[in-house]
Amino acid sequence: MGRAVRRMRGYLGELIHRKRGELGDDLISGLIRASDQGEQLSEDEAASMAFILLFAGFETTVNLIGNGMLALLRNPAELARLRDAVVAGDEALLGTAVEELLRYDGPVELATWRFASEPLTLGGARVERGDPVLVVLAAADRDPARFAAPDVLDLGRADNPHLGYGHGIHYCLGAPLARLEARTALATVLRRLPDVRLAVEPGELRWRGGLIMRGLRTLPVAFTPEGDGSSPRW
């Protein structure tokens, strides 16, 4: 992992260097412009920012779509409910569905490390100044004290203050983009692949290792192609 991170940082460093000579209308150029204005981002900080945007913005959304699709495939009544709504153009259910899929099996299981700036008691546990605190977002999102029937997937769940995007000052920067991507992907799959179904037994599914991110290695599905199947319409 260390080697891969260093290579990625090297790549982004070179990219930023190259872009510096030909600024355009893209995100990295925007970061460089910001760093050129004195006290804002240094080149190193711009590389770090590009890195986190890429990682935080890609892996997360991919896994929300994968985990969300799996949750739907394993809850056929909810899948049918969402497909009917999508076909009928009911955007409201799509909105609550994406939030529920985030709560039910979101891609980010843990928040990043926090360190107590002063002593406190949290959920009955004593935390001293400087102690690390790791919040398990996935557990909070199944908290029976907060959610009615927490282990049930209810795409229309109205009272759903989940922590899938974190909380407070570090609340996810990309939440609106992630919501849009998940809505678009799920609605498109349900519309275009009416009989999509799991192609393996759930027990055969393999999850990627890692502490923070929860996602599948692959999600094998079967479906009947439209028409004669020779020219899929995408």
By the criterion CB under 6 A, which residues form the site for ligand HEM? 52-53, 56-57, 60-61, 64, 106-108, 111-112, 137, 164-166, 170, 172-174, 177-178
Write out the two tokens for 49: 């920012």
Nearer to ligand HEM by Cβ, of 49 and 221: the residue is 49
- Residue 149 phi, psi (nearest 5): 40, 65
Neighbouring-strand partners of residue 127:
120
Q: From the CB of 212, what's the least distance to ligand HEM, in Å?
A: 9
CB 109 within 8 A of CB 214: yes
CB of 30: closest distance to ligand HEM in angstroms?
13
Question: Among residues 78 and 99, whose Cβ is nearest to ligand HEM?
Answer: 99
- Residue 114 CB, nearest approach to ligand HEM (Å): 7
Helix boundaries (H) for 89-168:
91-105, 137-140
Output the six-digit token pair for 53: 């945007």
Give the chain's largest Cα–Cα span. 67
Burial of 141 (0-12, 13-18, 19+ CB in 10 A): buried
Nearest distance from C-beta of residue 183 to ligand HEM, angstroms: 11
Instruction: Tell me the residue nearest to ligand HEM as measured from the CB.
Output: 174
Q: CB-wise, 56 or 93, nearer to ligand HEM? A: 56
* Residue 104 vs 106, nearer CB to ligand HEM: 106
